């Protein structure tokens, strides 16, 4: 690693990794395992802050889906990821973790979690991988910009400067290759504040406009506030713009104080965010997808007859949640205190219709800071998919969320970070 320049001794790393998230740690570990000298810079005091909060601390580390599902999950970026996903796929990741004592389990929809249900077991495996192979880890150090020499990457300037390297001049670090793995823009408190986009554009890279993905929405309807925290289970949701259905999902949603969130909404969010600039999007929710409107009308009638003496909101107990019923009755302009026996046919039918078609107008998405993933990023046309190396600067690499790559929920985003990181580790060797 020691080299002589103009009488000065300086340290030249084979690889400097900027960013100690899943992508950066995997790349650093793999390059070091292959015998390269590697320095990892992380601006937080500790590594993998976002990894630790993934899936509410449980870390949905990958998905058991076959390759073709992975390739489709990333949309247009799927093809770009083919080499990375082949070099290090979901099975390789599970084996890698198992070799480090982290057993994984598969849950609903192929989601893979550590058996411990704790994200820190994943982080610890990555840290011990790096330690095992001698990666130098410098946390609490902010990478500021890249240094060039004859259109090749030569080093990284940091703040604060790293003491042993000041001999080379002004605290600069020297390297033959540099990986920018600084993540996206979501959850900035975890360290992903967009520094990498700036560094990439200073190097001449184009940044495809960024926007939130896997994000919740604000609704025009204010009644949602009264249902804050109420989950809708086994519902069918379709998102329409004008008369066109742009996305649909079956599963769970959640009312919030500002609008709606939950797994189905998050999974449809990319499509909806992309559509919102052209106007509002309407969600049409089928609250009882297993029954027809006529069947629902009959069920309501049965309850009203059975509990004729009760107020309607109580008469429907067992059929409609007592938390949800008053709001739905209000939307139908039915007095919740009305005696069940007095509820008319037209009111009943109105309610049955609403159960099949509850509408919410989505007016805006929540800010990118609250999104799970950043869509957009470093333009993939400027990166060699076989290596993750920049086509503009030799020795410059990108991996993880900084790339214009994003997937749905289910472990696809972490797998993309691990696979692209691994490929960088391989490529510099």
Q: For binding to ligand FAD (CB under 6 A), which residues are involved?
A: 18-24, 41-44, 49-51, 53-55, 59-60, 142-143, 181-183, 186-187, 191-192, 195, 372-373, 400-401, 411-414, 417
Nearer to ligand FAD among residue 195 and residue 347 (C-beta): 195
Q: What angle do CA 180, 181, 186 make, to 5 degrees?
A: 125
Element (H, E) at 312: helix 312-315
Q: How far apart are CB 3 and ligand FAD at their closest, in Å?
A: 24
Nearer to ligand FAD among residue 13 and residue 187 (C-beta): 187
* CA–CA dist 357, 286 (Å, integer): 5
Q: How many beta carbons lie within 10 A of that of residue 233, not counting itself?
A: 11
Q: How many beta carbons lie within 10 A of that of residue 171, not counting itself?
A: 19
Q: How far apart are CB 416 and ligand FAD at their closest, in Å?
A: 7
Nearer to ligand FAD among residue 53 and residue 361 (C-beta): 53
Q: How far apart are CB 190 and ligand FAD at their closest, in Å?
A: 6
Nearer to ligand FAD among residue 77 and residue 360 (C-beta): 77
- The first and second tokens of residue 42, run together, are 């992380």
Q: How far apart are CB 29 and ligand FAD at their closest, in Å?
A: 13
Strands 281-286, 207-213: pairing is unpaired
Nearer to ligand FAD among residue 71 and residue 246 (C-beta): 71
Which residues touch 61 (CB under 8 Å, ≥6 apart)? 93, 97, 104, 112, 113, 114, 122, 411, 414, 415
Q: What angle do CA 167, 145, 29 make, to 5 degrees?
A: 80
Cβ atoms 131, 80 nearer than 8 A: no
Nearer to ligand FAD among residue 54 and residue 249 (C-beta): 54
* CA–CA dist 76, 2 (Å, integer): 43
Cβ atoms 272, 335 nearer than 8 A: no
Nearer to ligand FAD among residue 50 and residue 176 (C-beta): 50
Q: How far apart are CB 272 and ligand FAD at their closest, in Å?
A: 18
Q: How far apart are CB 187 and ligand FAD at their closest, in Å?
A: 4
Q: Measured on CA atoms in the order 74, 80, 85, 88, is the torsion positive or negative?
A: negative
Q: How far apart are CB 208 and ligand FAD at their closest, in Å?
A: 16
């Amino acid at each position: 690693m020691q080299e002589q320049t103009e009488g000065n001794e300086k340290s030249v790393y084979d690889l400097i990794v900027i960013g100690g998230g899943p992508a950066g740690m995997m790349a650093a570990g793999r390059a070091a395992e292959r015998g390269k000298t590697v320095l990892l810079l992380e601006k937080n005091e500790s590594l993998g802050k976002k990894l630790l909060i993934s899936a509410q601390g449980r870390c949905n580390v990958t998905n058991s889906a076959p390759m073709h599902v992975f390739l489709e999950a990333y949309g247009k970026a799927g093809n770009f990821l083919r080499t990375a996903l082949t070099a290090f796929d979901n099975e390789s990741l599970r084996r890698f973790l198992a070799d480090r004592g982290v057993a994984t389990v598969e849950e609903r929809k192929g989601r893979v979690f550590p058996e411990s249900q704790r994200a820190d077991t994943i982080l610890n495996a990555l840290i011990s991988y790096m330690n095992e192979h001698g990666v130098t880890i410098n946390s609490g150090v902010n990478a500021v910009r890249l240094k060039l020499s004859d259109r090749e990457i030569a080093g990284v300037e940091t703040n604060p400067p790293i003491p042993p390297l000041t001999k080379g001049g002004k605290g600069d670090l020297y390297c033959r290759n540099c990986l920018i793995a600084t993540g996206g823009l979501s959850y900035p408190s975890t360290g992903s504040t967009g520094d990498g986009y700036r560094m990439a554009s200073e190097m001449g890279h184009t940044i495809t406009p960024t926007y939130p993905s896997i994000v919740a929405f604000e609704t025009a309807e204010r009644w949602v506030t009264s249902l804050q925290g109420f989950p809708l289970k086994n519902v069918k949701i379709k998102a329409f713009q004008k008369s066109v259905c742009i996305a649909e999902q079956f599963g769970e949603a959640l009312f919030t104080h500002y609008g709606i969130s939950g797994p189905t909404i998050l999974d449809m969010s990319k499509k909806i965010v992309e559509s919102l600039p052209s106007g509002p999007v309407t969600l049409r929710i089928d609250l009882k997808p297993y029954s027809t409107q006529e069947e629902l009308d009959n069920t309501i009638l049965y309850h009203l007859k059975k509990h004729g003496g009760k107020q309607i909101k109580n008469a429907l107990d067992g059929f409609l949640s007592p938390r949800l019923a008053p709001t739905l009755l209000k939307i139908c302009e039915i007095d919740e205190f009305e005696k069940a026996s007095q509820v008319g046919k037209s009111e009943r039918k109105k309610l049955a219709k609403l159960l099949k078609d509850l509408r919410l107008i989505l007016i805006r998405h929540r800010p990118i800071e609250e999104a799970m993933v950043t869509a957009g990023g470093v333009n993939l046309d400027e990166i060699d998919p076989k290596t993750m190396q920049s086509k503009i600067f030799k020795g410059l690499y990108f991996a993880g969320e900084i790339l214009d790559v994003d997937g749905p929920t289910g472990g696809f985003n972490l797998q993309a970070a691990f696979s692209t990181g691994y490929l960088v580790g391989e490529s510099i060797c």
